[in-house]
Amino acid sequence: MPLASPFSDDGILLQDASVAFSGRRVLHGMSLHLTEHRIGIIGRNGSGKSTLLRLIAGLIAPDAGHVRVDGIDPAKDRRKMLTRLGILFQNPDHQILFPTVEEELAFGLIQMGADKAKATAQARARLAAEGRAHWAGAAVSTLSQGQRHWLCLQAILLMGPATILLDEPLAGLDLPMQARLARAFATLPQRLITITHDPASVSDADRVIWLEAGKVHADGPPGDVLPEFVSTMDQLGMSDADADLSG
Amino acid sequence: MLTLTSPVDTPLHRLPAGGKLAVLALFTAGLFWITSPLWLTLSLAAVLLLHGLGGAAFARHGLLLLRPLWPFVAVVGLWHLWTGDGIAGISIILRMLAAVAAANLVTMTTRLSDMIAVLETIALPLRPVLPPRRLALAIALVIRFVPVMSERLAQIAEAFRARSPRRAGWRIVAPAALAALDDAERVADALRARGGTE
């Protein structure tokens, strides 16, 4: 894969990016150029997946190297990032910031510069278009888990980002809800980057990146990467290798 | 839970929040001027009549909201019976009921966002120290996360009970506080992901 110049404004570019938490390296000199439509990032717990997500999203800055999303530094220019990149967090209760549905939907638009009345009108129009007009004033605490996931996704979609980062999007959901959400994701025109430990959920991706101990272990189409991932995970599962402490 | 606005639509819902709050302030101040039990009874009756505008279900809900007052009613009543000043006791009870019922009525007929908008306007002089948008965000976050945190507390209490014959009590204060900090960090991430507080 050719590495594009740092001035490329298409896609997500990491050049030799490293992240350390209190001296311990979590990501080691990561260089990636992500331009595909559907990208899966897989790895075990602690492999650095979530750190990579936070790095791409600009929630943390790299300690060395740099990260560009469509030519923008995601950790610096937060305002510009809002139209480029949205994040769907794993737990909706960590993402929903407002007590009512319409406030939650309107917030992102206000952040992007819309005035409150316009943002609220847009939020209501979206709810009406989705057949949920009666949700507008509802308290988010009364929504079911699946409804909260739906709300989180809509809040991001309203902001119209070109890329959406999904952090273990299907974990902990019942099967009908998983099917519904997976279907919703499949129809999205946005570039999706899915972070997961579940190989099945990225089997339709255009590209799969396997992280191991903060480094890229394998990178390619799912047909090349996933079978080896599955067999390695099976082997690890057979052994009692869980006695080591990190640090 | 903090969904205090009534879903029953009353004519009072359509009045501006600022006006309702101003009238409420005047009314409550007025209650402390009035000393005659007759006029206090009339004030209470007026508030209850306004509850009636929303229909039976709405009025019943309003009365239910007064229920937490009964210990105060009992204590004040008994005390004044003891001191032999029953009239003063009745005045205090009527005043309390009328004030709380009126406040509940405004709460039940005003959307939270309108209430916050009024607060933002009132807080305008504080702008250099406390930008109104940040104040509004803080209020919304409190209302949003009180139920989340009480759920978290219940989870921790359950985890304690699952491995202990004793009740959790004060022992879970520290873990609950740490869990709250952990949650706060994630919420900060979510806030930053959507543009932060700027």
pLDDT tens, residue by residue, B57-106: 888 988 888 988 999 999 999 999 999 888 889 999 999 999 999 999 99
Same domain for B110 and B151? no
CB atoms within 10 A of CB B133: 14
pLDDT value of position A9: 56
Give the tokens for residue A104.
């939650």
The arithmetic mean of pLDDT across residues B165-184, rounded, is 86
Same domain for B37 and B135? no
How many domains, in total, are found in chain B? 2
Instruction: Please tell me which of the candidates A79, A93, A111 has its beta carbon nearest to residue B148.
Output: A93
Instruction: Please tell me which of the candidates B113, B183, B189 has its beta carbon nearest to residue A59.
Output: B189
Does residue B173 belong to any structural domain of this protein? Answer: yes
Mutate to test the interface with B, among A97, A107, A143, A153 (most CBs of B within 10 A): A97
Mutate to test the interface with A, among B194, B197, B198 (most CBs of A within 10 A): B194
Last residue of a domain, one of B69, B94, B122: B122
CB contact under 8 A, B1 and A139: yes
Same domain for B90 and B179? no
Same domain for B34 and B108? yes
Q: Is the pLDDT of residue B1 over 60?
A: no
Last residue of a domain, one of B79, B102, B122: B122
Same domain for B16 and B97? yes
Same domain for B143 and B115? no
Same domain for B19 and B103? yes
> Per residue in A117-168, pLDDT tens?
899 999 999 999 999 999 998 888 889 888 999 999 999 999 989 999 999 9
Same domain for B118 and B131? no
Does residue B65 belong to any structural domain of this protein? Answer: yes
Does residue B63 belong to any structural domain of this protein? Answer: yes
**Integer Cα distance of A157 and A167 in angstroms:** 16
Same domain for B29 and B100? yes
> Per residue in B148-165, pLDDT tens?
888 888 888 888 888 877
Does residue B162 belong to any structural domain of this protein? Answer: yes
CB of B114 within 8 Å of a chain A CB? The answer is no
Strand pairing class (A207-212; A38-43) = parallel
Strand pairing class (A207-212; A215-220) = antiparallel
Confidence band, pLDDT 50/70/90 cuts, at residue A5: very low
Q: Is the pLDDT of residue B2 over 60?
A: no
Report the percentage of chain B scoring pLDDT > 70.
97
- Shortest distance between the Cα of A95 and any Cα of chain B, in A, equals 5
Same domain for B44 and B142? no
Does residue B105 belong to any structural domain of this protein? Answer: yes
Does residue B3 belong to any structural domain of this protein? Answer: no
Mutate to test the interface with A, among B144, B150, B181, B183 (most CBs of A within 10 A): B144
Mean pLDDT of chain B: 87
Same domain for B84 and B153? no
Tell me the residue range of the domain where B178 lies.
127-193
The arithmetic mean of pLDDT across residues A87-96, rounded, is 89
Q: What are phi and psi of B8, to 5 degrees?
A: -70, 125
Nearest to residue A180, comparing CAs of A210, A150, A157, A206?
A150
Q: Is the pLDDT of residue A239 over 50?
A: yes
Query: What are the residues facing A165 on neighbouring strands?
Result: A87, A193
Show the domains of chain A with their CATH numbers. Answer: 12-99+139-238 (3.40.50.300)
- How far is the CA of B51 from the CAs of B32, B59, B115, in angstroms? 22, 5, 19
**Integer Cα distance of B64 and B70 in angstroms:** 11
pLDDT value of position A245: 73
**Integer Cα distance of A87 and A12 in angstroms:** 14
Q: What is the DSSP string of A37-54?
A: SEEEEEE-TTSSHHHHHH
pLDDT value of position A3: 46
Does residue B5 belong to any structural domain of this protein? Answer: no
Mean pLDDT of chain A: 88
pTM beyond 0.80: the answer is: no
Same domain for B60 and B37? yes
